[in-house]
């Protein structure tokens, strides 16, 4: 795509990816708490401090999910490199992949 230079995302894209993951995670956490209140048939605004707490918890989990996914793709690509296979298609489009350095003897 046009927005990639040297097949790498720029700083703005990395920032928005992390910000998007945090917002989706935060909204999911708050929604989870509100759904729990709805299922219990109590007012949705009961214990409003938990709305904020679950928002931050969901944001943290969303951010860690991006890191976990990146680490898994790097591990998969290392395994594929050991087997003589190319990296996953489109890997360099969304994470920076560096081949592991071979030990010098």
Residue 8 in 3-state DSSP?
strand
Predicted model pTM:
0.62
Q: What is the mean pLDDT of residues 77-83?
A: 87
Task: Indicate if the alpha-carbon torsion angle 63, 65, 69, 74 is positive or negative.
Answer: positive
List, for residues 14-54, the tens digit of each pLDDT value.
Answer: 666 678 888 888 899 899 889 999 999 999 888 888 888 98
CA separation for the pair 42, 96 (Å, rounded)? 47
List of residues 6+ apart from 1 with CB closer than 8 A: 93
């Amino acid at each position: 795509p046009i927005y990639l230079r040297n097949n790498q995302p720029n700083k703005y894209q990395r920032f928005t990816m992390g910000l998007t993951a945090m917002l989706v995670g935060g909204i999911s956490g708050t929604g989870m708490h509100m759904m729990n209140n709805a299922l219990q048939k109590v007012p949705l605004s009961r214990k409003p401090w938990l709305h904020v707490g679950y928002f931050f918890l969901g944001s943290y989990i969303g951010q860690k999910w991006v890191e976990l996914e990146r680490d898994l793709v790097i591990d998969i690509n290392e395994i594929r490199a050991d087997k003589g296979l190319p990296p996953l298609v489109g890997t360099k489009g969304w994470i920076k992949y560096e081949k592991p350095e071979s030990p010098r003897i």
